Amino acid sequence: MNVLIFENEDEISTASGSLIASQVIEKPNAVLGLATGSTALIPYKTMIRLYKEKAVSFAGVTSFNLDEYCNLDVQNENSYHSFMHANLFSHIDIRPENTHFLNGNAEDINKECKAYDDAILAAGGIDIQLLGIGSDGHIAFNEPCDHFPEGSHIVTLDARTIHDNARFFNSIEEVPTQALTMGIGSILRARKIVLIATGANKAQAVQQMVEGDITPMCPASVLRLHPNVTVMLDRAAAGALK
């Protein structure tokens, strides 16, 4: 795990956005694993800038998003479909048909999850996976638990995650309590991973991820087993590292 500490968000934006864009320049039909949440806006800002400057085209790219809420219309502004459209896809030339999401409203959840994992494999696997981290150490929506789930699956969100994500909704009661998420296995199969964390509220989770035991009680700690992970932090998120 390569841990890099930056002075500010702009520096992280340039470094992370360029890393993803350079993957696309190297392989125009790259498969990107994409994330949502405020952290994801950091690389997206640079990816959009590089696209507008004509330094990179996403026209040949395929994307798979990490997760999606259950029981939330995809048109809802808080769905991860809407987030991706508003914050990245509508600003670049990625083809809508090449963007993939888990369907949190699928009737047959098992079938949906299996089809998603199969689609990632059929696309040749993920070349670069973007991750944020929850304040409880979750990645995608893999919450602390007693094992590392392999494939895509349904989860019940932890109270802390619901609390953290309530800032996007009108009230905490509106936050969905369940989601579909890629599994830890799906994430670890990505050839490269870049995880970004900023702010003091991530410091404890970052410390556990980088220096604590490798345990499903801190799902992000499993990334230490992957050969190509870059962690990009600001000073606040790195604040609890020994």
Indicate which single residue of 15, 19, 61, 66 sits in contact with ligand GLP (rule: CB under 6 A).
Answer: 66
Q: Closest CB to ligand GLP among 24 and 157?
A: 157
Is residue 26 among the annotated active site residues?
no
Least separation in angstroms between residue 227's CB and ligand GLP is 22
Residue 242: CB minimum distance to ligand GLP, A: 23
CA neighbor of 123 nearest in space, from 36, 193, 60, 43 = 60
Catalytic annotation present for 213:
no
User: Does residue 29 contact residue 73 with C-beta atoms inside 8 Å?
Assistant: no
User: Residue 233: which residues within 8 A CB-CB, separation 6 or more?
Assistant: 3, 4, 5, 6, 12, 196, 197, 198, 206
- Retrieve residue 150's tokens: 């392999």
Choice between 128 and 140, CB closer to ligand GLP: 140
Least Å distance, CB 20 to ligand GLP, is: 16
Residue 158 near ligand GLP by CB under 6 A: no
Sign of CA pseudo-dihedral 193, 51, 99, 135: positive
Give the integer Cα–Cα distance in Å for 185 and 182: 8
143 binds ligand GLP, rule: CB under 6 A: no
Catalytic residues: 67, 136, 138, 143
Q: Which residues bind ligand GLP (CB under 6 A)?
A: 35-39, 66-67, 132-134, 140-141, 161, 165
